[in-house]
Amino acid sequence: MHLNDPYVVTYEGIYAICDRENRFVEILENSRCYGGSAWTMHHYASSPLIIDVRSVGNLIRYRTRAGTSELTLEASVAAAGIESVIVTGDEVEITYAGLGGGGVGATVCRANSKGVLRSDISESGGGRAAKGTIVVPRMERVLVGIDDTDNKEEGATWSLAHNIASELDRDVARYLSHSLIQLFPAPSKTQNCVSTVLEFGCRNSKAKQSLLQDIKAALEQYSVSSETGMVVLDDFDASHLEEYSKECRTRILTKEYAEQSARANDVQVWMDGNGIIGALAALPWFDRPNESVKIDRTYR
């Protein structure tokens, strides 16, 4: 056996999603070693800049405030953290610090990962305290809700949406996540009454428009339904749609009501079939796929 880097575990990708004002940043790390990431999540959670930490499979999500903080590292208790998140132009600079193995994670593991443009790291390993800064592209979140691409004989919206997103994944428009949302079982459903939301990180407006046009074209090509709905939210946060989603998960809604709700919440309608009812309800669940698949039994 020969290990080129026996103490280095890189990430499949590290991405930074920013709000429009660059006040908040969500750092997404696609882990190759969940055990190591579970340790990191536990210790990073105490960093002053961290608002929320969650994992979805191997995708670790750190929602942070932009800025700089003072870390007080303590072995075994708070052995690693995020010291600063600075947005400059079209780049995000993230500084990590850690003790021992946490220092290895803060330096060479992240510096050598996919998505990193450049880095500045100290020596790490053994009992050292170490620090590392990586620079990644600044991205903005784009959420695409999709529903009603199948019929009674063929098709499945969740799989078609995933395959389209995987095919369109690119440096300027990264495919980040996929969630299925259980809706109220309406009589017109194909079978399970489930919609889908796709999450992308896009570098600029041109990348967004190109991506969305490609998704629409693919849906028009492969959907076997004449009622396909595709809606788009270009925003860091989708919580303002939770009330609509709750309604859609607990009772039957009309297409007209969905259209009104989309306009009121700055959601773009790209394909206006009846599927927009469920597509719109999918948007706020992009980072909670374990909860979104459960049926809401508080029927009205």
Question: What is the pTM for the complete model shown?
Answer: 0.94
Q: Is the pLDDT of residue 68 over 50?
A: yes
Residues 213/252, Cβ–Cβ less than 8 Å: no
pLDDT at 289: 95
pLDDT at 298: 66
Q: Which residue has the tokens 């009772």?
A: 251
Average pLDDT of 230-255?
96
**Among the listed ranges 37-46, 120-129, 147-156, which one has the minimum average pLDDT value?**
120-129
pLDDT at 99: 87
Distance (Å, rounded) from C-alpha 150 to C-alpha 189?
A: 10
* 190 — pLDDT class (breaks 50, 70, 90): very low
All structural domains of the chain: 13-138 (no CATH), 148-292 (3.30.70.2200)
Q: How far is CA 62 from the centre of its chain?
A: 10
Q: Hey, which bits of the chain come out as E strands? A: 13-18, 24-30, 50-56, 59-65, 67-68, 80-88, 91-99, 118-121, 129-147, 173-182, 194-202, 229-233, 268-272
Distance (Å, rounded) from C-alpha 65 to C-alpha 296?
A: 32
Tens digit of each residue's pLDDT (9 = 90 or more) over 199-231: 999 999 999 999 999 999 999 999 999 999 999
Burial environment of residue 160 by CB neighbours within 10 A (0 to 12, 13 to 18, 19 or more): buried
